[in-house]
Structure 1
Amino acid sequence: MRENKEKLDDVLMELKAIIETSTDNIVIADGEGNILRVSDNCREIYGIAPEELYGKSTEQLEKVGIFSPSVTRRVLETKQKQQLIQHTKTGKVVMATGYPVFDKQKQLVRVVSYSHDMTEIMALKESFEKLTEQVKRYESELEELREKETRIPGVIAESPQMKRVITLVQRVAKVDTTVLLLGESGVGKNVIAKAIHRKSERKAQPFIEINCGAIPEGLLESELFGYASGSFTGASKSGKPGIIELADKGTLFLDEIGEMPLALQAKLLKVIQEKKITPVGDTRSKQVDFRLIAATNRDLAEMVREGKFRQDLYFRLNVIPIEIAPLRQRPEDILPLIRIFLAKFSKKYGLEKRVDESAVQALLNYGWPGNVREVENVIERLVVTTEEPVISIEHLPEALRKEAEAAEIPVSFPARKLKDILEEVEEKIIMQAYKECRTTHEMAKRLGISQPSVVRRLQKYRKIRDKGTSIQK
């Protein structure tokens, strides 16, 4: 008898040791679903002390939201092993596995369940799925751009200004020199940057982009240069590589470089000069090899004069400046952009749409302050919101329609003679060409008239004396 008691004590001791040392949370319930034993770590997962669970029904605990659903209840219902994802009152996500235990008469007398905290893993899984979707979206957009029949995929170059940009891009892509892209927001600086990368010797390596104006100043340094383990509160225990390090062997694109704080400009200049980075909180440097492309919509030269941008960094960046003209100065590109975005979003949303002549004319007359990005947004909105298969002028956004109508030359008949109206139109066209062209020969070629005719018309409208610059013949 005493020997049997000692054996029983040993078994109970072993059982207790198994329950207490298990990294999983263990719950043992009887054949009615009442809890008999739990491991101590249930407090961490379920937010309740072990002694508060003893004798409680798992069904009751499920109803009050301690955990849901109950794996014990599922085992009791099916009399088979069950595995499911539980959500706890503490906000944890738990993988629970329950096993039935039968006596000699094959009656279910116990349910033993093991619970493993999956909160962090599920969060990582969700992040991974989001990143996967983002990658698919980027791949789809990239494929759309590659299919366009242009000299550089994704770049419309019908205007003389964009043709000059494309010619320069093709030249500089072959060498590793630094490029500075200049232009208003939305003109497509990031598209040009990617085009340079795709045509370079580094095309098989990463293209890493960071918007210097989109990241808080306090985080920008660690994002750019990375950080060592434990370098600041909240830092990853294993440290983190920076954007510059990720661009090793590839292309680093610093968008909105004019927004970079002065304090970081000196450190960036050193990286450009030495091609070495020192992560935040570390004393060791890492060698990096990248091709640098920067972009801004600000006047960096003016910022240098105002003391808002380092002169030495400006000279380092301004090796090959490429200026991308705003869309209002290259009207030849507007119609092809409309066609491309119309086809893109019609395909994307499965909606066959076309734009009638009145709407096209209004879109051509509009100034597009948001440039290419605004064209894309407006066309997407029209494709989605227009119920009819044909998009007409009444479907256009009110602000766009009003500005486009105001841009048209008003014809007041019979108060004005046709000759006066034609001269007014001619004057506007001549002076617009004068602003955009560098020589009268270029103006003549663009307007389709002789160079002497250009000179006579400029003299006729007496505009040259009002300008602070001269034009070459």
Structure 2
Amino acid sequence: MSLSSWNENEAILHSLQDDILVTNVDGTILKVSEATGKIYGVTSESLLGKSVYQLAAEGLFTPIATPMVLKEKKKITFVQTTNKGKKLLVTGIPVLNENGQIFRVVSYSHDVTELLELRKFLQTMEGEMERVKSELDLLRSLQLYDSGIIANSAGMKNVLTTSLQVADVDVNVLLLGESGVGKSLIARFIHNKSARNKGPFIEVNCGAIPESLFEAEFFGYEAGAFTGASRKGKLGLVELADGGTLFLDEIGELPLAHQVKVLKCIQEKKFYRVGGTKPISVDFRLISATNKDLEKAIAEKAFREDLYFRLNVVPLTIPPLRQRTEDIIPLIHYILERLQEKYKREKRLDEAVIHHLLQYDWKGNVRELLNLMERLVVISPASLITTEHLPDYLKVSYPSPVSSAPLLKPLKEVLENVEKQMIQDARDQYKTTTKMAHALGISQPSVVRKMQKYEIS
């Protein structure tokens, strides 16, 4: 290039690394930087003199800056897509003449394809993190060791999931299940997860209060209401539940004569103390529980149908322990840890003992397991609890293969048989190894290895 043909402005333009393009008001390209052609996959010289409208029609890029700047009459920024699929952040600037009119449009751009892909990735990750956070929140809400509830089994997981769903809604819940399954624990769990968790949790055992004293205990009484009554009167259990949760345990044991009064209190949230003439309003959330078949009791005229329908808005059945085999071992360890803390004794269970406990029917459910574990911790003289310390009824009902034939079946073989059966049962119940792992309380790779070991497909 000769010195006479050198142009300072052109030199400055081409020294820039960014895409710069200048058009007139008709959209004809007057100047471009050398970087412009590279971005669009053409030579910069081939763009000179061409119309941006024509190039847009040919698909080189879209949209275009010139008409947008002419319309807005100010600096604009937008995202442009090239024929190569790149995303450009384009800024268009109007250039005014001495009369204040637009006579040139200058645009420059930055390739933001990677940034947009990164943004998309981050949005995906944010969505994934939100999902994981929701799962963690749920798991945190299901904190077993904080609440004393073990829920590795599908049945108990469903119970806790439903409990969380109804916790923040003041709907009546009826807990069903055998004696000892933990209905009181679930009731308190619902209360603790509700908006009323700062209020009282008042538990009323409807079967433990003498029929003659039920009204005085439940509704309270005024001073001098009857012979032997306190001079100051007494607040009833329902009044103590104001602002919190009223839990009517063993509701099926409630005498028929008192059922209509309890129903009226539940419906109207008002009651009269014994000997009182002024109605008292209360605000409580109602949870009831029973191990009885209330529909059968209704048929036998032992339970009011209208009270049943009032209680049974959301029924929740807690499965018995014999149907929660995945929960037994975690429960054993949980209870053992708590008892060791309580009695300041270091105890551990022999594998044969665990085998017996897994095979037992547990008609008394979690309460029976808790009582047995407490007995074992207290009476066993050594730190290792063995089958010698088990009660006779448990040994006789479910003898351990090890104790009955120690020379024929070593402990390792017995435990492998038990493990194989549990893996097979989990495979029959669940479709995926991930769900099996959750149910069994082990990792998914461990499930796969054990399935291969025992040739379970």
Place the TM-score, normalised by the shorter chain, in its bin: 0.5 to 0.7
Summarize the alignment of residues 119-134 of structure 1 with structure 2, pairs less than 5 Å apart: none
The one of 176, 180, 189 aligned to 2:174? 180
Partners of 1:287 and 1:168 in 2: CA distance: 30
- Provide Cα deviations, 1:301-333, integer angstroms capped at 9, x if missing partner: 111111110000000000011100110111111
Q: 1:404 Cα deviation (Å)? A: 2.0
Any idea what SS the aligned residue of 2:273 has?
coil
Aligned to 2:197: 203
For residues 377 and 151 of structure 1, do their structure 2 counterparts lie closer, same or farther at Cα, with a shift above 3 Å needed? Answer: closer
- Provide Cα deviations, 1:329-349, integer angstroms capped at 9, x if missing partner: 111111111101111111111
Any idea what SS the aligned residue of 2:362 has?
coil
Give me the CA root mean square deviation. Answer: 3.4
Q: 1:368 aligned to 2:348?
A: no
**Is the CA contact 2:272–2:280 (under 8 Å) kept in the aligned structure 1?**
yes
Superposition TM-score, scaled by structure 1 size: 0.56
Partners of 2:364 and 2:230 in 1: CA distance: 39
Aligned to 1:283: 277
Any idea what SS the aligned residue of 2:147 has?
coil
For residues 147 and 356 of structure 1, do their structure 2 counterparts lie closer, same or farther at Cα, with a shift above 3 Å needed? Answer: farther
Aligned to 1:55: none
Aligned to 2:345: 351
Aligned to 2:104: none
Partners of 2:232 and 2:300 in 1: CA distance: 41
Partners of 1:165 and 1:302 in 2: CA distance: 24
Partners of 1:182 and 1:257 in 2: CA distance: 10
Any idea what SS the aligned residue of 1:405 has?
coil
**Structure 1: where are the runs of 5+ without partners?**
1-145, 415-424, 449-473
The one of 323, 337, 341 aligned to 1:329? 323
Any idea what SS the aligned residue of 1:399 has?
helix
Any idea what SS the aligned residue of 1:303 has?
helix
Q: 1:260 aligned to 2:254?
A: yes
The one of 301, 315, 318 aligned to 2:312? 318
Aligned to 1:272: 266
Letter in 2 for 1:180: L
- Provide Cα deviations, 1:47-66, integer angstroms capped at 9, x if missing partner: xxxxxxxxxxxxxxxxxxxx
Aligned to 1:94: none
Summarize the alignment of residues 210-289 of structure 1 with structure 2, pairs less than 5 Å apart: 210-289=204-283
Letter in 2 for 1:272: I
Q: 1:279 Cα deviation (Å)? A: 0.7
Aligned to 2:383: 389
Larger radius of gyration: 2
Partners of 1:445 and 1:336 in 2: CA distance: 17
**Is the CA contact 2:222–2:232 (under 8 Å) kept in the aligned structure 1?**
yes
**Is the CA contact 1:148–1:154 (under 8 Å) kept in the aligned structure 2?**
no
**Is the CA contact 1:152–1:166 (under 8 Å) kept in the aligned structure 2?**
no
Q: 1:427 Cα deviation (Å)? A: 11
**Is the CA contact 2:352–2:400 (under 8 Å) kept in the aligned structure 1?**
no
Summarize the alignment of residues 40-51 of structure 1 with structure 2, pairs less than 5 Å apart: none
Q: 1:280 Cα deviation (Å)? A: 1.1
Q: 1:371 Cα deviation (Å)? A: 0.6
Aligned to 2:159: 165
**Is the CA contact 2:347–2:384 (under 8 Å) kept in the aligned structure 1?**
yes
Aligned to 1:36: none
- Provide Cα deviations, 1:64-101, integer angstroms capped at 9, x if missing partner: xxxxxxxxxxxxxxxxxxxxxxxxxxxxxxxxxxxxxx
Q: 1:305 aligned to 2:302?
A: no
Percent identity for Structure 1 against Structure 2: 53
Summarize the alignment of residues 32-181 of structure 1 with structure 2, pairs less than 5 Å apart: 149-150=143-144, 153-181=147-175
The count of aligned residue pairs is: 290
Superposition TM-score, scaled by structure 2 size: 0.58
**Is the CA contact 1:194–1:207 (under 8 Å) kept in the aligned structure 2?**
yes
Letter in 1 for 2:234: K
Partners of 2:329 and 2:258 in 1: CA distance: 42
For residues 430 and 281 of structure 1, do their structure 2 counterparts lie closer, same or farther at Cα, with a shift above 3 Å needed? Answer: farther
Partners of 2:277 and 2:375 in 1: CA distance: 51
**Is the CA contact 1:152–1:195 (under 8 Å) kept in the aligned structure 2?**
no
Letter in 1 for 2:224: G
